[in-house]
Amino acid sequence: MNKLIITCAISGAEVTKKDNPYVPYTIQEMAEEAYQAYNAGAAIIHLHVRHDDGRPTQSKLRYEKAIKAIKKRCPDVIIQPSTGGAVGMSRDERLKPTLLSPEMCTLDCGTLNFGGDDIFVNTENDIKYFAHRIYEKSIFPELECFEKGHIDLVLRLHKKGFIKTPMHFSFVLGVNGGMTGEERDFHFMRESIPMDATYSVAGIGKYEFSLAELSIKYGGHVRVGLEDNLYLEKGVLAKGNQELVEKVVQIAKSYGREIATPDEARQILGLRRI
Ligand code: KMH
Ligand code: ZN
């Protein structure tokens, strides 16, 4: 089987140090968490940045500083800035990290409820706009799909030329307002994408490791990290992103699946190295 690409979503935009003290805010904390995750086996760092007090931002300067600090610690790691940002941000605000031409970034492929009164808005026109801005800079998008309808929209937009091959999907399952992350959901999602597409699975909360295991078993890739889940096991907070990555590496070992280095991940996905 192909090697396993592990993505680590080290901070997100919504979780705080009150939820888990290891959630990184400062540039130094971001670099340290990324480095630890990379050492544990992560090839890709999914990156949101924060102000020092923890407020989420999509500031180009802040991303530039964080990326520089991370690259100093682990020069070959793939950095995947978020274009999702935080709920309520405008299109152009969310797109700011693309001005840095990273080799990869996220492209969120549909709207969904995000708990309480929050709605994470990604209209069809938003997606076309984001896709245009991403491809014009030759950035490789990870197609984040929170439910099956988002995959259908990607495939429609692909037919119309807005989304290009190779396609790499991220199934983000278990969001409060999106699709759950049960085994049947995983199979429904992976069977709905083209045969030549690749996919990674991000299980939110209690789904993190059960979905990771399924994806390892069926040849997909895995995302873990404090953005998605704060616990190493029920009731036990993870002492940083590294522990979450280590747990996935252990599961992969038990299935005889080797871990991809960043350069191997680039080959699997068809990425240019920066
Ligand atoms: N923070 C969420 C509203 C992404 O990174 O592209 C959106 C998100 C998706 O995290
Ligand atoms: Zn994110």
Q: Is the CB of 244 under 6 A from ligand 1?
A: no
269 alpha carbon – ligand 1 mean position (Å): 21
The CATH homologous superfamily to which domain 6-269 belongs is: Aldolase class I (3.20.20.70)
The token pair that represents 252 in the structure block: 């992969």
168 close to 139: Cβ distance less than 8 angstroms: no
Altogether, the residues listed in the chain come to a count of: 274
Q: Is the CB of 232 under 6 A from ligand 1?
A: no
**In tens digits, what is the pLDDT along the chain, a chain of 274 residues?**
899 999 999 999 999 999 999 999 999 999 999 999 999 999 999 999 999 999 999 999 999 999 999 999 999 999 999 999 999 999 999 999 999 999 999 999 999 999 999 999 999 999 999 999 999 999 999 999 999 999 999 999 999 999 999 999 999 999 999 999 999 999 999 999 999 999 999 999 999 999 999 999 999 999 999 999 999 999 999 999 999 999 999 999 999 999 999 999 999 999 976 6
Whose alpha carbon is nearest atom 10 of ligand 1?
Answer: 84
Q: Where are the domains of the chain?
A: 6-269
Select from 44, 57, 80, 82 the residue to mutate for testing ligand 1; criterion: most ligand atoms less than 8 Å from CB: 82
User: pLDDT for 189-228, tens place per residue?
Assistant: 999 999 999 999 999 999 999 999 999 999 999 999 999 9
198 close to 165: Cβ distance less than 8 angstroms: no
**Ligand nearest, relative to CA of residue 113:** 1
The token pair that represents 176 in the structure block: 């409060």
- Closest atom of ligand 1 to CA, residue 9: 5
Q: How many CA atoms lie within 13 A of 104 on its CB side?
A: 27
CB atoms within 10 A of CB 250: 10
Select from 120, 121, 145 the residue to mutate for testing ligand 1; criterion: most ligand atoms less than 8 Å from CB: 120
User: pLDDT for 8-21, tens place per residue?
Assistant: 999 999 999 999 99
256 alpha carbon – ligand 1 mean position (Å): 32
Per-residue pLDDT, 272: 72
Spatial separation of the C-alpha atoms in residues 230 and 21, rounded to whole Å: 10
Q: Taking the complete model, does pTM exceed 0.75, yes or no?
A: yes
Q: Is the CB of 198 under 6 A from ligand 1?
A: no
